[in-house]
Amino acid sequence: MSYLVLARKWRPMTFSDLVGQEHVSRTLSNAIGAGRVAHAFLFTGVRGVGKTTSARILAKALNCEQGPTHEPCLKCPACLEIATGADIDVQEIDGASYNGVDEVRRLQESLPYRPSRDRFKIVIVDEVHMLSQAAWNAFLKTLEEPPPHVKFIFATTEVHKVPVTILSRCQRYDFKLIPAQVIAKRLRYVLDQESIEADDASVALMAREAAGSMRDAMSLLDQAIAWGGQKLVGDEIAQVLGVAGHTDVRELASALVRGDAAACVTIVDRLAGAGYDLVHVARNLLEALRDLVVVKLCKDHERMVDLTAEELVAISTIAREAELDDLLRLHLGVSQSFDQVVQAPQQRAAFEMMLVRMARRPPMLPVDDLIGRLSQLEKRIHGTGGAAARPAARPRAIAEGLSEPPIPSRAVDAGHRPSAPAIPQPAPVPARSASVPPSSEPPRSQPRSAAEGAAVASASQRPQIASSVTPQGLAAWRQIVDRVRAANPGYGSVMEHAVPLDVTAEKVELGFEPGSFYETQAKHEGVLDLVTRVVRDHFGASTAVSFTLDAVPTGAQTIYAVEEKERAARIAAERKELTDHPLVQAAVRELGARIQEIKLAKSG
């Protein structure tokens, strides 16, 4: 007994019958109507979307006795023979077996002869990417300038393997994946013509499983009819196709949204016991989570999800009970773990543990609620929460994003440094010795400011850099370095790395590490002159300034090294102050958190 499968029985015969590829059918119909039919076409797309079918329709449209016409009559000998593959003027060639240069040469030898009956001699090459390189080269000249009565139609699923020299000689048409709604509509039409009853769930399931291929959908329909006979039911069709039904996937998604880990494992056990492919279940679950997000987010979601009316109502109920951010988090988690399930040696265990992990996800806490809880903590710690009950001093180390003035990196204890008057850049002078004799000018009487006095008084608490420098001299040297920075930042950086060997109103002696970069910089013209002017202006005396460039006392420290130690100690104190703050400690206890990182506001 001969049986014609549905994919062949209900194969489209005209452009109007071709579904899901309207952009192709309209373009070809218009070209035929305008008499602008090219000599070579390339149809590309995945399997089962209508490439070879469109090639046959185009051949019928060109060779129909009523044509060329975009609506062939389907009654003339040409239309009937092309539909059955018996027309001697329309050759259908398999590129996988007809791929040698000799076959192409024999074909070329027959092309100059006129067709025996039809209007055009048409060559349809399926899976044309299988041709060898030599065969392509043999095709080049003929494909570019064929006889006027010859048309070429190439079909391929791997257009990237077709040489660009061939692509440039053809009109290319890209066939799209057919939407599930369009496939479902076509399946429903075929079922009605075959007088077979089927519920919407079964039709939707087959349309989704076809993954954009009409031929695959027809093959699945054939299999389903063989199982169910004259009545198709969704759950039964899911069982015969070996895929989880939408009801099972929806139950799994609902349990995941509710956070019911036990229900997730139970559902997986039931699906595994029925022999379903768990990787396929995971893929369907990911699609169901996507549908939940779309339904939750979009008002016109009906056209954006491939669901029946009953399934849409059920999925909308789940979406209403969930938060959008939580659905997004679930989709992201399942998506990131999907590859692990696919590659796992024990796919069931990997799938179950993924579901348990996602179901036991910690609840999301809105930022407003978190701020409110912190505010309540502050009120409980400090009383009523009024201004008078708040701590007198807030932590100096402030997390990024909070508005708190930065702490100056070079503050001198509690006081501010005196503002140094701007000293103009000295003009270049001839090279001189590394010593400046005392000036003959009488010393000026210049009273110290209150800030300077406070800095000098606090200098006794600073570490001693060199044994010959007094604390007062060290404090004076730090102020001198600041004034040199203000006048010339480059020279100020050199002075930061100088070791003060002696700092008094009579003499300032500075040392540099032999062979260092800063020793080389100190030898440049203008450095000694500028430092001398600043020193004399600071002390109000004719101070002698000299550089020692050959030796530095053991254990001596520069201003830069001392300030780095002070900065490190200050940062450590600020971090400890923030960590030990009562509000921070209370937040850690209340939220069950831990301090992972502390970022301090950048210092000036």
Task: Annotate 219-253 with three-state secondary structure.
Answer: HHHHHHHHHHCCEECHHHHHHHHCCCCHHHHHHHH
Instruction: In whole angstroms, give the CA distance from residue 277 to residue 242.
Output: 7
Q: Provide mean pLDDT across the span 80-105.
A: 86
What does the pLDDT read at residue 562? Answer: 78
Query: What is the band of 554 on the pLDDT scale with cuts at 50, 70, 90?
Result: low
Of residues 558 and 135, more confidently modeled: 135
In DSSP notation, 490-524 reads HHHHHHHT-EEEEESSSEEEEE--TT-HHHHHHTS
- pLDDT: which is higher, 599 or 140: 140
How far apart (Å, rounded) are the C-alpha atoms in residues 28 and 70? 8
Give the pLDDT score at 273: 85
The CA-atom distances, in angstroms, between 379 and each of 262, 383, 428, 452, 582 are 41, 5, 65, 43, 12
Query: Would you call 509 helix, strand, or coil by DSSP?
Result: strand
Q: For residues 371 and 377, give the distance between their C-alpha atoms in angstroms, rounded to a whole number.
A: 10
Please tell me the predicted confidence (pLDDT) of residue 368: 64
To the nearest 10 degrees (0 to 180), the angle between helices 489-496 and 527-539 is 80
The predicted pLDDT at position 463 comes to 38
Asked whether residue 451 carries a pLDDT value surpassing 70, the answer given is: no
Residue of 440 and 359 predicted with greater confidence: 359
CATH topology of domain 6-174: Rossmann fold (3.40.50)
In this prediction, what percent of the chain has a pLDDT beyond 90? 19
- Inter-residue contact 571 to 601 (CB < 8 Å): no
Residue 315 backbone zone (phi > 0: left; psi -120 to 50: alpha; other: beta): alpha
> From the DSSP assignment, how many helices (H) and strands (E) are in the chain?
25, 10
Q: Which two tokens stand for residue 502?
A: 């002696």
pLDDT, residue 601, reads 64
CA–CA gap between residue 207 and residue 216 (Å, rounded) = 9
pLDDT (0 to 100) of residue 405: 37
pLDDT at 553: 56
From the list 191, 210, 218, 173, the residue with the least C-alpha distance to 21 is 173
Contact present, 25 and 16 (Cβ < 8 Å): yes
Average pLDDT value for residue range 413-440: 39
Q: Among the residues of 3-50, which ranges form H helices?
A: 6-9, 22-34
What pLDDT is recorded for position 438?
42
246-359 CATH pick, 1.20.1250.20, 3.40.50.10800, 1.20.272.10, 1.10.3210.10: 1.20.272.10
- Candidates 149, 146, 170, 90; CA nearest to 123 is 90
Per-residue confidence (pLDDT) for residue 105, from 0 to 100: 86
Q: Is 428 helix (H, G, I), strand (E, B) or coil?
A: coil
Token pair for 28: 């070809």
- Over residues 365-376, the mean pLDDT reads 69
Q: What is the sign, positive or negative, of the torsion defined by CA atoms of 205, 211, 217, 219?
A: negative
pLDDT of residue 239: 77
- For Cα atoms 38, 44, 49, give the angle at the middle one, nearest 5 degrees: 115
- State the pLDDT confidence band at 416, using cuts at 50, 70 and 90: very low
CA distance 365 to 172: 53
d(CA 502, CA 543): 12
CA separation for the pair 577, 8 (Å, rounded)? 80
Q: What is the mean pLDDT of residues 321-347?
A: 89
**pLDDT, tens digit, for every residue of 399-413?**
333 333 333 333 333
From CA 426, how far away is CA 433, in angstroms rounded? Answer: 17
According to DSSP, the residues that pair with 171 across neighbouring strands are 41
Tokens of 225: 């009819």
Grouping H, G, I as helix, E, B as strand and the rest as coil, residue 572 is helix
> Domain spanning 180-241 has what CATH number?
1.10.8.60
**478 backbone dihedrals φ, ψ, rounded to 5°:** -65, -40
Residue with tokens 């002017």: 533
43 neighbors 55 (Cβ within 8 angstroms): yes
Q: Rg of the Cα trace of the chain?
A: 43
Q: What is the DSSP string of 379-426?
A: HHHHTT--GGGS-SS--SS--TTS--PPPPTT-BTTBPPPPPPP-PPP
What pLDDT does 452 receive?
Answer: 43
Predicted confidence at residue 555, as pLDDT, reads: 53
**Which amino acid is located at 169 in the chain?**
R
Q: What is the pLDDT of residue 51?
A: 92
The order of strands in the sheet holding 150-156 is: 90-94, 121-126, 150-156, 40-44, 171-174
**What is the per-residue pLDDT across 485-523, written as a single tens digit (0 to 9) for each?**
888 888 888 888 888 888 888 888 888 877 778 878 888
pLDDT digits (tens, 9 = 90+) for 102-125: 888 888 888 888 988 889 999 999
- How many CB atoms sit inside 10 A of residue 345's CB? 6
Asked if residue 27 has pLDDT above 90, the reply is yes
| Contact yes or no for 153/58 (Cβ under 8 A) | yes
| Rounded average pLDDT over 72-77 | 90
Average pLDDT estimate for 380-390: 51
Contact indicator for 416, 451 with CB cutoff of 8 Å: yes
Q: Which amino acid is at 30?
A: N
Distance CA 3, CA 13 (A): 19
| pLDDT tens profile 235-284 | 788 877 777 777 888 889 999 998 899 999 999 998 888 888 888 888 88
pLDDT value for 446: 45
Highest mean predicted confidence (pLDDT) among 5-19, 463-477, 564-578? 5-19
Q: Which residues pair with 590 in a beta bridge?
A: none
State the pLDDT at residue 59.
93
Mean pLDDT over residues 427-451, rounded? 41
Q: Does domain 395-418+449-604 have CATH number 3.30.300.180?
A: yes
Q: Is residue 417's pLDDT more than 60? A: no
Give the Cβ contact number of residue 248 at 10 Å: 21
pLDDT digits 0-9 by tens, 183-204? 999 999 999 999 899 888 888 8
Contact 252, 216 (CB under 8 A): no
Q: How far apart are CA 210 and CA 220, in angstroms?
A: 8
d(CA 248, CA 263): 12
d(CA 506, CA 157): 93
Global pTM value: 0.55
Judged against a pLDDT cut of 90, whether residue 42 lies above it is answered with yes
Do β-strands 231-232 and 197-198 pair in parallel, antiparallel, or remain unpaired? parallel
Assess whether pLDDT exceeds 50 at residue 453: no
Q: What percentage of the chain carries pLDDT values higher than 70?
A: 81
Residue type, 583: L
Does the pLDDT at position 551 exceed 70? no
Least confident of 155-169, 186-200, 456-470: 456-470
Please choose, from the candidates 540, 548, 494, 539, the residue with its C-alpha nearest in 3D space to the C-alpha of residue 517.
494
Handedness of CA 316, 320, 323, 325 (dihedral sign): positive
Please provide the average confidence, as pLDDT, over all residues in the chain.
Answer: 79
Centroid of chain to Cα 58:
43
What residues are paired with 210 via a beta bridge?
none
**CA distance linking residue 465 with residue 469, whole number of Å:** 7
Tokens of 206: 């087959």
Domain ranges of the chain: 6-174, 180-241, 246-359, 395-418+449-604
Residue 366 pLDDT:
64
